[in-house]
Amino acid sequence: MVLVNPYAGVNRDIPNLALVYIATYLKTKVVDLNTLPSPYYRFLKYKHDSVGISVQSRTYNEALKIKNIYKKKNPEVKVYSVSGILDVQCCYPYLRLEEDIHIELDFSDDLPFPVYELFDSFFIFKNNWQQGKWQYPLMTSQGCPYSCIYCASRNRSWQLRSVDNCYEELKMAKERYSIKSFVILDDCFNIDKERVLRFCEKVQPLGLSWSCANGLRLDRFDEDIAIALKNAGCNFISFGIESVDTQILAKIKKGENLEQIEKAIDIARSYFKDINGYFIIGLPGSSFQKDIESLNWAKRRNINAFFSYYIPPDELNKGYLFYGRGARPVSDAYPHRLQKKIYILTRYMRPPSEGILNLKEIICNLKDKIYFLLER
């Protein structure tokens, strides 16, 4: 069997974590079209009796396209989706096609550490990790007991790895891949304060810089955590703010109020130069004015604000994107053209991964192709 990671158009620097765990478990090669999009058709040259595609909601259409291409070319080959171990990454759920191979394993210390060498894009990851341009991804837990209505990670059991196990993975990654930094991709890293403090104490001697890219909860952020993160090498943090409108916060069941949000931002500001805040355009109960107010609040607070579109969780499997190339408004909270206006207004706050490829991206893609050919 060969595994395929479809092109998502975003997060080229973040590997498909469910897929690397599945590949490690099955000891199977991965054609990674997201980090190495070309040559696109290279998945066809793997002559196997079956193909497993990792399908995230954002790559659903791409996955079907790959399946159809494969079936047309090799009708005798079985094409499955592969799923299991992780069920959500970065708010996008993993989906199962009708024919699916599901790996029924909990996310725990019992899993082997991910073997990134199985990805055909590995040389790109390794190169960037070694140069400190990309951060090594680490999930210390999956799931979240909170109930925020917009979030695919909500109301799920919180599956944990021990702090020691996470430390061992980072130590391995430092020795094997010469990583310079790492990024925590938990659905919600700061659910348990004591665990965060123990984690910080444990990883500090590794001397790595790191960040919390997915949103921390503001009501569970305090000075002890800020100090521990800072001392352990964490140099930027992100919060899931979503909106600063009190009624919207109640409607989306965020479980936080503006006072808690502002208090946490004030604490964070004393320790961190860079603070990311995630906001959502078009949440239920929202309006153009309310979303503009969130934008102005973020500007006043000097937060790196990332605005993405609201996609109702039960619509996620239609292939919609929160942000990135191809993202568009789907919420009916207020006219789409006004939601788009906010998205465009805040474009400069997002990474340069959308619209027409710029020269740097074109050169980057060309370099990757050359590396790919040389590596074969």
Q: Which residues bind ligand SF4 (CB under 6 A)?
A: 144, 146, 148, 151, 153-154, 187-188, 215, 217, 240
Pairing of strands 209-216, 2-5: unpaired
Nearer to ligand SF4, 179 or 188 (CB): 188
Of 107, 104, 114, 121, the closest CA to residue 39 belongs to: 121
Dihedral in degrees, nearest 10, Cα atoms 325, 56, 123, 238: 70
The amino acid present at 376, given as its one-letter code, is R
The amino acid present at 187, given as its one-letter code, is D
Smallest separation (angstroms) from ligand SF4 to the CB of 279? 12
Nearer to ligand SF4, 24 or 294 (CB): 294
Smallest separation (angstroms) from ligand SF4 to the CB of 158? 9
Nearer to ligand SF4, 91 or 95 (CB): 91
Smallest separation (angstroms) from ligand SF4 to the CB of 304? 18
What span, in angstroms and rounded, lies between the C-alpha atoms of 34 and 184? 20
Question: What distance lies between CA 25 and its chain's CA centroid?
Answer: 21
Dihedral in degrees, nearest 10, Cα atoms 252, 258, 264, 267: 160
Task: Quickly tell me which residue has 């399946």 as its tokens.
Answer: 67
The amino acid present at 315, given as its one-letter code, is E
Nearer to ligand SF4, 240 or 282 (CB): 240
| Encoded tokens for 156 | 């799920």
Smallest separation (angstroms) from ligand SF4 to the CB of 310? 12
Smallest separation (angstroms) from ligand SF4 to the CB of 278? 9
Nearer to ligand SF4, 189 or 236 (CB): 189
What span, in angstroms and rounded, lies between the C-alpha atoms of 249 and 279? 11
Nearer to ligand SF4, 51 or 191 (CB): 191
Smallest separation (angstroms) from ligand SF4 to the CB of 88? 9
One DSSP character per residue, 57-79 reads GGGHHHHHHHHHHHHHH-TTSEE
| Encoded tokens for 143 | 């799931």
